[in-house]
Amino acid sequence: MVVLKQLSSDGDAFTDPTLYHSMVGALQYLTITHPDLTHAVNFVSRYMQSPTVHHFQALKCILRYVKDTLHYGLYFSSSSPTSLTTYSDADWAGCPDTRCSTSSYAMFLGDNLILWSAKKQPTIFCSSCESQHRVLTHTASKVVWITHLLCDLKVSLSHKSLLLCDNKSAIFLTLNLVSYKRSKHIALDYTLFMS
């Protein structure tokens, strides 16, 4: 998906919404084995209730990409080291209609991609730090879950799990418990979100 191209709900309505729905549904199924499609399919699936011509054009662009990359997929190697590395990211207020952020993460066991997600966050955040911190919290819970699952499967990890983020303020907030007075509103958001 073109990074600078923003999809919005504005535009002429697409004449065959049923075709749009079936194509997006097929692409959602394809993301099970093609994680490179997850982000783009997430964006086009947001407009299922009222697709426009621009949304269908973006959908055709994704289909052309799929046609050119049919040989892509998930490949697992047994000789890679058993360390768990997770990358997380969020675009702050990336949706032009709702101003919600999109959060995503990718988890690797050695060189093998084992878990991934791209999802629109349900809350609007006032800063990129809040948005990234929410993703880090959610991703950390997934890391703990996978670590326990691997332990139950008798897979031993050679190193501690690593969670990576590119936002310096979110990293500081996560590591520095002293700054809690400035982040009480984030705790309130978590309480409201979890209830």
Q: Where are the domains of the chain?
A: 17-68, 84-194
Alpha-carbon distance of 114 to 74, in angstroms, equals 9
DSSP-assigned letter for residue 180? G
Cβ proximity of 106 and 87 under 8 Å: yes
Cβ proximity of 91 and 43 under 8 Å: no
The amino acid sitting at 44 is V
Cβ proximity of 59 and 20 under 8 Å: yes
Say what the pLDDT of residue 5 is: 63
Say what the pLDDT of residue 195 is: 45
> The CATH number of 84-194 is which of 3.30.420, 1.10.3470, 3.40.50, 1.10.10?
3.30.420
Say what the pLDDT of residue 66 is: 92
- Helix, strand or coil, per DSSP, at residue 61: helix
Say what the pLDDT of residue 80 is: 63
Structure tokens at 30: 């394809």
Cβ proximity of 158 and 81 under 8 Å: yes
Per-residue confidence in pLDDT tens, the chain, 195 aa: 555 467 777 888 899 999 999 999 999 999 888 888 888 888 888 889 999 998 899 999 999 999 998 888 778 887 766 889 999 988 876 666 677 777 889 999 988 889 988 887 777 777 777 778 788 888 888 999 999 999 998 888 888 999 998 877 777 776 765 555 556 655 554 554 444
Please name the residue that has the structure tokens 């084992």.
Answer: 114
